[in-house]
Amino acid sequence: MPRTLHEHALFTGAPVLAGVHRLDLDVEPHAHDFLEIAVIGAGRGRHVTSQGERPLRRGQVVVLRPGAWHGFRGCEGLVVANCCLSAQALRAELAALHELPLLRRLLWTDPVASGTHGVAVTAVDPAAAGEAVTEIGLLERDLAADRRRPGRVLGRLVSVLGVLADGRAPSRRRPAPPSTPPSPPPSPGWRRRPTGRGGWTTSPAPSTWIPPTSAGCSSGTPG
């Protein structure tokens, strides 16, 4: 049975634990009684869970619910940025995160989905992964500061979660607006021309104008 890491032994007066690690040795399987987010950076390695071993690649995000276990094998310069959240804090001061759909999915829904065994693996684009690793490094620095700064720590945590949530969301591009507003086709015998102010106007088409004499309405006496 993997050993369990406990938040009361690791968390130092804050609801968050963070660190950026470069792994060249195996990490033995272990469990946590807190939630862990692991962002994978450069390097090579395999992730070990109750579902077996899988190779890791840059941009993967592993979220483990409290009680789940994992480990790492075959590591060669594998960068793993950890952001861990206290299970107690997720029910107290961090409970407001549950109100945000993107974060609720990341922290609560995905890790307990059927078939995950408490380990949800998703991916973000490489740029988002690099940004998340950097933010987790800054969070680690803020946590290690001599003077406690709970506001800054909370803000950094939200930045990390926001980068991960945005990085996995599908991009949505708005279609470019038309150069001129669309308008219905003109009636027969009329032509349409732009006004120069982004609109349209209509006027009789010259080719369809019929002089009165051509219509049998001459100035002479009807025969």
Q: What is the predicted pLDDT for the residue at 173?
A: 42
Q: Is the pLDDT of residue 98 over 90?
A: yes
The reported pTM is 0.74
What's the mean pLDDT in 34-44? 97
Topology adopted by domain 3-168: Jelly Rolls (2.60.120)
- Residue-wise pLDDT for 73-93, tens only, equals 999 999 999 999 999 999 999
Residue 201 to residue 208: CA distance in whole angstroms: 17
What's the mean pLDDT in 113-125? 92
What interhelical angle do 150-168 and 126-144 show, nearest 10?
A: 170
